[in-house]
Amino acid sequence: MNPSDEQRATGTDATTGGAASRKLVDANEFLASRARAAEAQSASPTATSVNAAHLIRIEGELRSCLQRDALWQHLVNESAVLIPFGESLVLESRASLRGKSTSAWRVLAISGLAEVQRDAPMVLWYQRLVEKLTQSSDGGLQPESFELPQYADEHDPCTEQAALRHLLWLPLHDGGTALGVGWLLAADHTWEEQHITLASRLAQAYAHGALAIAGRAQPLPAWRRHKSRTAAFAGLAFLLALVLALVKVPLMTLAPVEVVARAPFVVAAPVAGVVERIVVQPGTAVNIGNPLVQLVDTALRSDFEVAEQKLQVARAKMLRYQQASIGDSSAKRELAVAQTEAQVARAERDFAKAMLDKSVITAQQAGVALYGDPRDWVGRPVAVGEAIMQVANPQQVEFKLQVAVADAVNLRDAARVKVFLDAAPLQPIEAQVVRAAYKAETDPAGVASFAVSARAADAADNISRLGLRGTARVYGEQVSLFYYLFRRPIVALRQWSGI
């Protein structure tokens, strides 16, 4: 295959993330331009001769493809000069891979991409669509053009968001021999008969090329040319495997660790308001009763002063009726009402005083004030119960580990932990797991992990500062050296193969 420079650049630089999206857009724009050129040529008087020339060139180039992967890449990309499409895919039936009857399909190549992202939502959606298509009456053995949402799940977000609504399915077979491979084309226009005819001719040519590649004589394997050397390597490999199976080592996991307070007191807003100022600086030692946070108290102070004045008015009224009740019986009745009003006013005054006192948040335990920049809090509104800072005893600390879900095999009670702080990497600290979260949480980086708490085994270990970070090694049960070395490859193999 001799692809153009633009296609080679697109296929080489396509990666995951934002770079992959930009390269995919560039490749699709390039293929779309070629498709528009092909459509314009088909409308010209010399369309037949031009298409024939392109068809001859493509059939000649596919003969130079020595591998099936290169053949499918050539099919999904080079066919754009003949057929106007928005996206092209080659899929293979898993029946041809495992030798048993099944309707599942796997994407082998996508136009504009050098590699297929197996877990991409659109790739999985195309596989399900072809699976449902092949389960129809003819089993997907004949070319078929259709429009979404036919053969697709109407409630799937990919079905609703698909911009290319017209699809063309072409199974690859040559002389009655089915390859178990299909070619799927997606476009934003209705498929015309001439496009279907050209696509069918291309499908037959590539099917013939695939059968030719499968029938080529393969060179003699290297292990058969060097049998004695292969036998020696096999013996060494057996001895090495035996050693790996007999040697026992503890299963270890590395996790990031941070020094945190063991039982910090959370300073929360008792009332809704606005922070006027933070009284103490970060890291300042405080005692019980020391003021920590001052909330804006204008409204609370006004409420208290109004309640105080109401209480004074109620007391004056009660005093007047007390004096008048000596000679006036009606004043005695009004005295009882005035006393009740005075009690209500006193209760309102006490409540306003209590709310005013809450505008100054004080420390409920001795320790060190832990929070961020004081300037971030000035003028900031807070809700009831919103945490503002913590007061913690710097002598009572523990280690907080973030153990990835894939390494959670070591999470057991009293598991041994060795902590290596970045501030003192040559002075490891022995610790033990005291608790582990039952449910994994996702951090801002998108990694799911378990929050694990560990405490130093020796109380004499001096942790000089809260917030220190480092790496912790969590020790698990004894396993064979083979399992320790190949646990992750085994997991990756099972995830990929499903065995």
pLDDT of the residue at 9: 36
* Same domain, yes or no: 112 and 185: yes
Q: Reduced to 3 states, what is the DSSP secondary structure of residue 475?
A: strand
Q: Return the CATH number at 160.
A: 3.30.450.40
- What CATH number does the domain containing 286 carry? 2.40.50.100
Same domain as 404, residue 312: no
Count of domains in the chain?
3
pLDDT of residue 186: 92
Q: Is 248 inside a domain boundary?
A: no
Q: Is residue 172 part of a domain?
A: yes
Residue 99 token pair: 């030798």
Indicate if 305 and 403 belong to the same structural domain. Answer: no
Residue ranges in the chain modelled with pLDDT below 70: 1-48, 95-103, 137-140, 216-226, 327, 329, 410, 459-464, 499
- Whether 140 is covered by a domain: the verdict is yes
Do 205 and 326 fall within a single domain?
Answer: no
Whether residues 125 and 188 fall in one domain: yes
Q: Residue 185 — left, alpha, or beta (φ > 0 → left; ψ -120 to 50 → alpha)?
A: beta
Same domain? 128 vs 277: no
- Could you say which of 352, 371, 390 is where a domain stops? 390
Range of the domain at 190: 5-215
**Same domain for 450 and 341:** no
Q: Are strands 177-187 and 87-93 parallel, antiparallel or unpaired?
A: antiparallel
Q: Which pLDDT score is estimated for 89?
A: 93
> Closest Cα partner for 360 from 309, 281, 300?
300
Is residue 270 assigned to a domain?
A: yes
**234 occurs within a structural domain:** no
CB atoms within 10 A of CB 17: 7
Q: In this structure, are 139 and 277 located in the same domain? A: no
Please identify, among 355, 390, 425, the residue that sits at the C-terminal boundary of a domain: 390
Residues 403 and 355 both lie in one domain: no
> Is-contact 295 279, C-beta < 8 A?
no
Q: Is residue 182 located within the same domain as residue 59?
A: yes
Contact in structure between 282 and 374 (CB atoms under 8 Å) = yes
Q: Where are the alpha helices (DSSP H) in 86-225?
A: 95-98, 121-134, 157-161, 193-215, 222-225
User: Token digits for 110?
Assistant: 């996508």
| Calpha distance 433→413 (Å, rounded) | 6
**pLDDT value for 16:** 37
In whole angstroms, give the CA distance from residue 236 to residue 242: 10
pLDDT of residue 22: 42
C-alpha torsion 464→466→468→473, nearest 10? 90
> Same structural domain for residues 332 and 459?
no
Task: Among 173, 197, 215, give the residue marking a domain's end.
Answer: 215
Query: Residue 17: what pLDDT?
Result: 37
Polymer length of the chain: 499
- Which tens digits make up the pLDDT trace of 21-30? 444 444 445 4
Same domain, 416 and 373: no
Tens-digit pLDDT profile for residues 129-144: 998 888 875 666 788 8
In the three-class reduction of DSSP (H, G, I as helix; E, B as strand; rest coil), residue 265 is classed as strand
